[in-house]
Amino acid sequence: MSERKGIILAGGRGTRLFPITTAVSKQLLPVYDKPMIYFPLSVLMLAGIREICVITTAQDQEQFFRTLGDGKDWGISLSYITQPNPEGLAQAYILAEEFLQGNSSAMILGDNLFFGHHLPTLLAEADEQKEGGTVFGYRVVDPERYGVVDFDDQDRALKITEKPRHPTSKYAVTGLYFLDNTASARARNLTPSNRGELEIADLLHSYLDDAVLLVKKMGRGMAWLDTGTHASLLDAGNFVRTLEERQGLQIGSPEEIAFRQGWIDADQLRVRAKLFEKIQYGQYLLNLLV
């Protein structure tokens, strides 16, 4: 089990896909057969993290609690932190400072989906780094939408630029950050950008300037989907459906991860499966017991 604590940032300016204040948060929308929030939660669980806080807007917090509860059904602990105003991704480390209590952390954005055979290995390697931080670079066709990382000829990170107009690299920094216990203090020392936000790129640069940030490239065998638009949400749903129906294996299943990690036993898994008995997911969970 990891000693890190986990953060899921489900708030921020991109909380909704529809301009209706009463609409459900996009992180609770389905990605094929599960709520979107299950996928980032599963990544933290795969990393062995059992103590996780979910940062949401005040308006959405009740919906998230109804969906996830306190985590005990998965053998983990979930708590909730309200984000009064969306002031940048790095703000999460300030909001979560009391929760972290001086521990290192892994933060993931609530609309990110990761998949790949080597994902558990990448997570374990990042978790082993006790000082500094590890983030991941992923090649994309539209890097101007993201924080972009430039590498030297030995694949060492040189700089990270937030949403550059003219990207000099195709590698985006994904929404998964393994940082040490100095993250909150570093975030407090940041100056808001021209957008009025505490930029995650600036936070990462503080590590980069101290030569303690590792940026690992995710290769062709990995998939990273940022479901921040209608089109990308549809793409993610089709991706999950194709893999699950082709392989007969689930992606983003907290129940399966908890069971395989030994955090819940067969009886607890059977209870969870009963909740989904009318859909294929319930049968899939029961088959894990055979």
Of residues 112, 111, 92, 12, the one with CA closest to residue 52: 92
Residues forming a β-bridge with 220: none
Confidence check: pLDDT of 206 > 60: yes
Number of structural domains the chain divides into: 1
Q: Determine, yes or no, domain membership for 31.
A: yes
Average pLDDT, the chain: 94
pLDDT on residue 148: 95
The position carrying tokens 């389905």 is 30
Confidence check: pLDDT of 124 > 60: yes
φ/ψ of residue 196, rounded to 5: 75, 20
**Mean pLDDT, residues 223-246:** 93
pLDDT on residue 13: 66
Question: Which structural domain range is residue 59 located in?
Answer: 5-132+175-252
φ/ψ of residue 68, rounded to 5: -105, -30
CATH number, domain of 82, equals: 3.90.550.10
Q: With cut-offs at 50, 70 and 90, classify the pLDDT of residue 192.
A: very high
pLDDT on residue 1: 80
CB 13 within 8 A of CB 114: no
Of residues 201, 137, 191, 198, the one with CA closest to residue 163: 201
Q: Determine, yes or no, domain membership for 199.
A: yes
**Mean pLDDT, residues 51-68:** 95
**Mean pLDDT, residues 10-39:** 78
CB 36 within 8 A of CB 226: no
| Structure confidence by residue, pLDDT tens digits, 145-171 | 999 999 998 889 999 998 899 999 999
- Give me the DSSP letters along the chain: --S-EEEEE--STT--SSS-TTSPPGGGSEETTEETTHHHHHHHHHTT--EEEEEE-TTTHHHHHHHHTTSGGGT-EEEEEE-SS---TTHHHHHTHHHHTT--EEEEETTEEEE-TTHHHHHHHHHH--SSEEEEEEE-S-GGGSEEEEE-TTS-EEEEEES-SS-S-SEEEEEEEEE-TTHHHHHHTPPP-TTSS--HHHHHHHHHHTT-EEEEEP-TT-EEEE--SHHHHHHHHHHHHHHHHHHS--SS-HHHHHHHHTSS-HHHHHHHHHHTTTSHHHHHHHHTT-
pTM: 0.95
Q: Determine, yes or no, domain membership for 230.
A: yes
Q: Determine, yes or no, domain membership for 204.
A: yes
Q: Determine, yes or no, domain membership for 157.
A: no
Distance CA 19, CA 255 (A): 33
Confidence check: pLDDT of 177 > 70: yes
Confidence check: pLDDT of 6 > 60: yes
pLDDT on residue 15: 63
* pLDDT over 70, % of the chain: 96
Confidence check: pLDDT of 21 > 60: no
pLDDT on residue 75: 98
Q: Determine, yes or no, domain membership for 109.
A: yes
Confidence check: pLDDT of 106 > 70: yes
Q: With cut-offs at 50, 70 and 90, classify the pLDDT of residue 62.
A: very high
What Cα–Cα distance (Å) separates residue 195 from each residue in 89, 95, 160? 12, 19, 17
Q: Determine, yes or no, domain membership for 166.
A: no
Q: Determine, yes or no, domain membership for 81.
A: yes
| Structure confidence by residue, pLDDT tens digits, 83-99 | 999 999 999 999 999 99
Q: With cut-offs at 50, 70 and 90, classify the pLDDT of residue 23.
A: low
Q: With cut-offs at 50, 70 and 90, classify the pLDDT of residue 26.
A: confident
